[in-house]
Structure 1
Amino acid sequence: MLDILDRIKLFKILNKLQAGETPEFGEMTAQHMVEHLALSVRFSNGKYPQHHNYTFEKQQKIKAFVIGTGSSLPIGFKSPVLPVEGLPSLTFTNLTTAIENLKTELSDFDNYFNVNASEKPINPTMGELNYQEWIIFHNKHFTHHFSQFRLL
């Protein structure tokens, strides 16, 4: 399991990713995957607030599985914020720039919770998450997508 707080190790692994890499599963390109991870970090760092997409009961069920167990994220789960079909447009001109943006978003995550320690930004599938819950989610989410591109 990756630890998003160990940025040296995290980016040492991620810097092995090649732009033309074919995923083990899913449709994402390498750059789509990095931009997707950065987007999810934006949900947790105060830059891109989300709203509740599911009933409270469904959110709690998903949260109990994702946060409350040691289970990996399932292959094929689709977030309600992603397009129903196809891939979103890329934001950055290349993979290197996307990785630099991910570094910034993670730094902003640290800064956000240093200033707003009791905040609980909304995760689009699990509802409100505190700092520790976001770390668990990001660790699992990054691990899932790094495995998608055989980085782990």
Structure 2
Amino acid sequence: MNHFVDITNRKVLYRLMVNLRPEAAPLWGKMKPQQMIEHLIDQVQYTNGVKIPAWDGPDDNTAVRKHAAIYTDAEIPRNIFVEELADTLIYPNLETAINQLMKELDTFDRYFNTPDVKVIHGAFGPMDYYEWTIWHGKHFTHHLKQFGVID
């Protein structure tokens, strides 16, 4: 799984993020760069204690989905639609949003300092820090590719 962004290497991650330009057009999808960063902030907040995730509990395919998403080299497909885009932006500009994303990731690291902490993923169930770093890495990679920041 070496071809995914390592979210624990914040210096490299930050350099990738600051390569985004506010006016950049996505290679697919409808998001603008700041919407994408704010989407990542929202998703990280569900894994750092700021927001509480919901889960209906396991079903027959939970373990299979989790394994395929976390423990394989499978990428998140292009044009996958999970949620509506927010009509308004939360942060005044892209730079501020990127800096907030970095803060949320630091909070994510601290949140998992407690032994045996797991956080629910809506489709995959409880996940530990290691699994979340993989998933976030795949998610960040997906969106950085969306804007041509990485190949």
Q: TM-score w.r.t. structure 1 length?
A: 0.90
Residues 76-133 of structure 1 show CA distances to partners (whole Å, capped at 9, x for unaligned) of 2233xx22xxx2132111111111110110000011111x231111112222111111
- Which residue of the partner structure matches residue 40 of structure 2? 37
- Which residue of the partner structure matches residue 131 of structure 1? 129
- Which residue of the partner structure matches residue 73 of structure 1? 76
Which sections of structure 2, spanning at least 5 residues, go unmatched?
A: none
Structure 1 contact 53–125 (Cα < 8 Å) conserved:
no
How much has 1:61 moved relative to structure 2?
3.0
Structure 1 contact 4–135 (Cα < 8 Å) conserved:
yes
Structure 2 contact 58–125 (Cα < 8 Å) conserved:
no
Q: 1:60 to 1:29 in 2, by over 3 A?
A: same
Instruction: Report the Cα distance in structure 1 between the residues aligned to 2:15 and 2:55, rounded to whole angstroms.
Output: 34
Which sections of structure 1, spanning at least 5 residues, go unmatched?
A: none
Return the match for 1:19 from 5, 17, 22.
22
Give the root-mean-square deviation of aligned CA atoms: 1.4
Runs of 4 or more above 4 Å deviation: none
Q: TM-score w.r.t. structure 2 length?
A: 0.90
Q: Are 1:97 and 2:68 counterparts?
A: no
Instruction: Report the Cα distance in structure 2 between the residues aligned to 1:58 and 1:72, rounded to whole angstroms.
Output: 19
Structure 1 contact 19–95 (Cα < 8 Å) conserved:
yes
- Which residue of the partner structure matches residue 64 of structure 1? 67
Question: Which range is displaced more, 52-61 or 66-75?
Answer: 52-61
Return the match for 2:9 from 6, 9, 18.
6
- Which residue of the partner structure matches residue 108 of structure 2? 109
How much has 1:49 moved relative to structure 2?
1.2
Higher helix share: 1
How much has 1:53 moved relative to structure 2?
5.2
Amino acid at match of 2:102: K
Question: Which range is displaced more, 120-129 or 103-112?
Answer: 120-129
Aligned residues: 146
Structure 1 vs Structure 2: percent identity of aligned residues?
Answer: 35
